[in-house]
Structure 1
Amino acid sequence: MERRNFIRLSLAGAVGAGMIAPTIALADSSKLAVGADIYYTKEAPGRWSGKVTTHSPSIEIEKAGGKVTVKIVTAHEMKGYEHYIVKHVLLDQNYKFIDERLFDPIKDQAARSIFTLHDYSGPIYALSLCNKHDLWLNGAEV
């Protein structure tokens, strides 16, 4: 094959691959099965069955008028950047993002978050992300 043809075909292949890859990367997330190996739960701890008590977030709900306070605690020690809870994420009944709290393992001695919602009712979900033992989900009813 001539050098020019080789270069031309190589560039055409690279451009074609670039046009396909973003489509794959931006696949419709609504088609993902909830819990399809994306996170772990008490009921489905997967490879981390021994980590449920220290990694699954607990949720406490307090209601006062139209105000809802959601307290999330993950009973996990903060061992500096070696092993810690990175963040808590709060999701609504459709698994849509509401809020998050990032932790600094040097300053935060425990993984505790407090979120305030207004006029919310229905299921709510908390995610707890450990830097070594992945993402954990728990839910509660408001």
Structure 2
Amino acid sequence: MERRDFIRLSVASVGAGIIAPTIALANTSKPAVGADVYYTKEAPGRWSGKVATHSPSIEIEKAGGKVTVKIVTAHEMKGYEHYIVKHVLLDQNYAFIDEQLFDPTKNQAAISTFTLHDYSGPIYALSMCNKHDLWLNGAEV
């Protein structure tokens, strides 16, 4: 390799080493939303035929200051081949409240119940399928 080619290649490598990480990091400043992270009934993305069995339904019961949230995903539990991995409950700011993990060898259905005290406002449920990704639904408490 000639000296000029070596210098040109070295300068290009240093430039790429400085510019490439900057370009990669520029995309991380924007939070991922919607289909970048989860699917919904309104935006099922590539899983449009899976809404009925993957979107979690939310039932809410209030008694005094106690709120019971029941999440059901009408999805079959075919052992570890195809099942709902977990339900996650989020508050109005999408902050984690609680989760229920499922064991497909023991759980026949993806049903979870959570108890909240003195909560009002929007609530969100995530349902994670091992083959068809993460699904979000919301309700008002």
TM range (shorter): 0.7 to 0.9
Q: 5+ residue gaps in structure 1?
A: 1-12
2:103 paired residue number: 104
* 1:100 maps to amino acid: E
* 2:139 maps to amino acid: A
1:32 paired residue number: 31
Whose radius of gyration is greater, 1 or 2?
2
Identity of aligned residues (%): 87
1:75 paired residue number: 74
Secondary structure of 1:51 counterpart: helix
1:133 paired residue number: 132
CA-CA distance at 1:74 after TM superposition: 0.1
CA-CA distance at 1:35 after TM superposition: 1.5
* 2:94 maps to amino acid: Y
Q: 5+ residue gaps in structure 2?
A: 1-13
TM-score of the aligned structures, taking structure 1 as reference length: 0.79
* 2:59 maps to amino acid: E
CA-CA distance at 1:33 after TM superposition: 4.3
CA-CA distance at 1:138 after TM superposition: 0.2
CA-CA distance at 1:32 after TM superposition: 1.0
CA-CA distance at 1:34 after TM superposition: 3.0
TM-score of the aligned structures, taking structure 2 as reference length: 0.80
Q: Deviations over 1:64-88 (max 9, x none)?
A: 0110000000000000000000000
Q: Deviations over 1:12-64 (max 9, x none)?
A: x9xx99xx7xxx5xx56xx4143242100000000000000000000000000
Provide the aligned C-alpha RMSD in A.
2.6
Tell me the matched-pair count.
129
1:86 paired residue number: 85
* 2:126 maps to amino acid: L
The list of structure 1 runs, each at least 4 consecutive aligned residues, that deviate by more than 6 angstroms after superposition, is none
Output aligned runs, 1:45-60, within 5 Å: 45-60=44-59
Structure 2 CA distance, aligned partners of 1:32 and 1:92?
18
